Chain A
Amino acid sequence: MSTDETPAREGLQRRSLLIGAVAGAGVTGIGAASAVGLNEAFGAAEDPTADHSDAARHGLQVEPFHGARQAGVATLPQAFSAFIALNLNQGASKDSLRRMLRVLSDDAAALTQGRAPLWDQEPWLAENPSRLTVTFGFGPKAMALIDAARAPEWLKPLPAFDIDQLQDRWNQGDLLLQLCCDDKLTLAHAQRVLLKDSRSFAKVRWIQDGFRNTVGATPAGQTMRNLFGQVDGTVNPYPGEEDHEKVVYGRDGFEPWIEDGTSLVLRRIHMNLDTWDEADTPAREDSVGRKLADGAPLTGSQEHDEPDFEAKGPLGFPVIASYSHIRRSRTDNPDEKIFRRVYNYDLPVADASGMSRSGDISGGVSNTGLIFASYQSDPIQQFVPIQKKLDDMDMLNTWTVPIGSAVFAIPPGCEEGGFIGDGLF
């Protein structure tokens, strides 16, 4: 399959710029510079005019930091992510939070553009921004400090679901820093700088590292696979698709909590690879309603074919089972849609052996799952109904267990000289 031609892909690419191009271009040049898309940057072999010089290397690609919206949501997903939840110190005040956000915004702005802050003691590690983005999210405590009256009503823990086995260590924090980057070393450095900045204001609650394929490992535009081997992300309101704006930033019945703001529901979902191994291909495909080889619906032949939920097999049963993940996660209510931007996790294990059983969230030889990042204008109206349906019935639950849950309000972006959240202070 190829999504190269779809508007979605162009939408995702549009924001990506090359450092050199930006430096020389000035504000008016950005439109031209952004024509340098990922394919060119990858040095696509078929294109004889492609720029193979060092200046075009992927490490120099930058995503804008300043603007009406924060980067890291509509941005073409980078290879690596670190979702960091911070807990503000006891004595935190509106003023200390303002100072903290100013410091973090300044340094995030510099690092994403390939510049080291003056107080960066390893400035060389900032030289290859590799599309680094830093996205800020506010938890309930941060919003209460900033302006309780403007805290969205949904900014609280999700309702409990029967399938949940939440571990408090992965639950809600006060402030989220979502770092995404195509280079792990650059990401680690940026994380270090921002955590040093945060140290006198907050402590780290958790860090969730995630990954997808690295740049160039898979054909550009190919939908990612998760560690079950499934093509994951086929049906999703991508930027450029008509419902993206409504789903993520609200309109037509969704009142955004703030113009150009959105929300993140972050679910940490354990995937039991041991019991998944016990399922053979037909059972695996039946559980989702799609083929493993190419992600095509069981009623179609290509990934992006529309699934036919009415089609019946020889015995009169639906080809796409009523308990399958795609049947259950698609509701009849057009408002119940989310934008997924997920990452895999696979933690090192030690002294591991044997098999874990269904429902277990430890044991076996792997500690694997999905950092299920879902963006939507209103989690209660959009995310919760889907999760509720999956809670009631979803064959995929046989192998998956939510172990962490957090909700963050994602404020708009900021202009140069401002800081993230400044419009709320």
Chain B
Amino acid sequence: MNMPIETSTRSLPRPLRRSVTTLLAAGFAVTALTGCSADGNQASGDTQVPAASAEGNAATEQVVELTDGWAKAADSNMTSVFGSLKNTGDQSVTLESIDAGDTAGVAELHETVMNDQTGSTEMKRVEGGFEIAPGETKTLEPGGDHMMLMELQCAVKSGTDLTVELGFDNGRTQQITVPVRDYAGAQEHYAPGEEHSGHGEHSEMPSPESSALPECHEH
């Protein structure tokens, strides 16, 4: 499924940001507006700005095209975001960083590698980001490369939408909003940094009762 892609609108006041949505997939417009993003607004109580009123603000272009975006639900600690990022332009772009705003203390790009010593897979931070050649698609998926949110400040709940901002080499940014789902996989051990090593043990399924952190607001 194609996800709505939000271009950088940092200059806008917060409630307006996520509503300025550039809809990429032809025919997706209606679904997206009544679906995930509208749904998110309901949950957070944001006022939704009709897409039309945002049209004048189309100064920023989308950098990559996101499809199949989603994130794993987590009550605490850390979680991952997945999806396919297609470079539809004619210049190579490099995804260098991600920013999860208030949701996570740390947000990084990760790869999953085999540890020669232990024989098991581990994830570690990617230096230099993911370069995506023109026409190419970078796939981020469980068991492979992914976007990692650590030091979660709030519980990322199944059935909500999560918005993160992608940072690219040329200084451009792009917001993406993805649905959050419970998922038992994506538990690779985090290799460096003792402080983040709890990932592997985080196998408890999130539930309303077990949630210690407040629920994330969808924005």
Contact = CB atoms under 8 A, between A and B. Distances in A.
B160 interface: yes
Contacts of B202: none
A417 B181 contact: no
A224 B31 CA distance: 40
A197 B207 CA distance: 11
B34 interface: yes
Interface string B18-36: 0000000000001111110
B34 A418 contact: yes
A99 B156 CA distance: 12
A392 to B, nearest CB: 46
Main SS at interface, chain A: loop
Given A89-B208, A98-B159, A197 B182 contact: yes
B31 A416 contact: yes
Interface string B37-62: 00100110000000000000000000
| B39, B73, B185 interface centre (most CB from chain A within 10 Å) | B39
Contacts of A197: 158, 181-182
B179 interface: yes
A118 interface: yes
Sort chain B's interface into a size bin: 20 to 34
Contacts of A91: 208-209
Main SS at interface, chain B: loop
Given A99-B158, A103-B159, A119-B70, A200 B185 contact: no
B182 A99 contact: no
Interface in A100-129: 100, 102-103, 106, 117-119, 121
Given A200-B208, A417-B32, A102 B185 contact: no
Interface string A181-201: 000000000000000110111
A95 interface: yes
Contacts of A93: 208
Nearest to B70: A118
B129 interface: no
Interface in B70-116: 70, 73, 82
A251 B175 CA distance: 49
Contact of A106 (B179, B206, B207, B208): B179
Sort chain A's interface into a size bin: 20 to 34
A103 B185 contact: no
Given A98-B159, A99-B160, A102-B159, A200 B207 contact: yes
A118 B68 contact: yes
A92 B34 CA distance: 24
Nearest to A106: B179
Contact of B157 (A99, A119, A417): A99
| A98, A118, A416 interface centre (most CB from chain B within 10 Å) | A118
A96 interface: yes
Given A95-B43, A118-B70, A89 B159 contact: no
Given A92-B208, A200-B208, A201-B208, A415 B70 contact: no
A89 B183 CA distance: 19
A103 B183 CA distance: 12
A119 B181 CA distance: 7
Interface of A: 89-93, 95-96, 98-100, 102-103, 106, 117-119, 121, 196-197, 199-201, 415-419, 425
20 contacts: A89-B207, A92-B208, A95-B43, A96-B157, A98-B43, A99-B159, A100-B159, A102-B159, A103-B159, A103-B181, A118-B82, A119-B181, A119-B183, A197-B158, A199-B205, A200-B182, A201-B207, A201-B208, A417-B31, A418-B35
Interface of B: 1, 30-35, 39, 42-43, 68, 70, 73, 82, 157-160, 179, 181-185, 205-209
The 8 closest A-B pairs by CB, nearest first: A99-B159, A417-B35, A91-B208, A417-B34, A417-B31, A200-B207, A103-B159, A119-B181
Given A106-B179, A201-B208, A417-B32, 6 more contacts: A89-B207, A99-B157, A102-B39, A118-B70, A417-B34, A419-B39
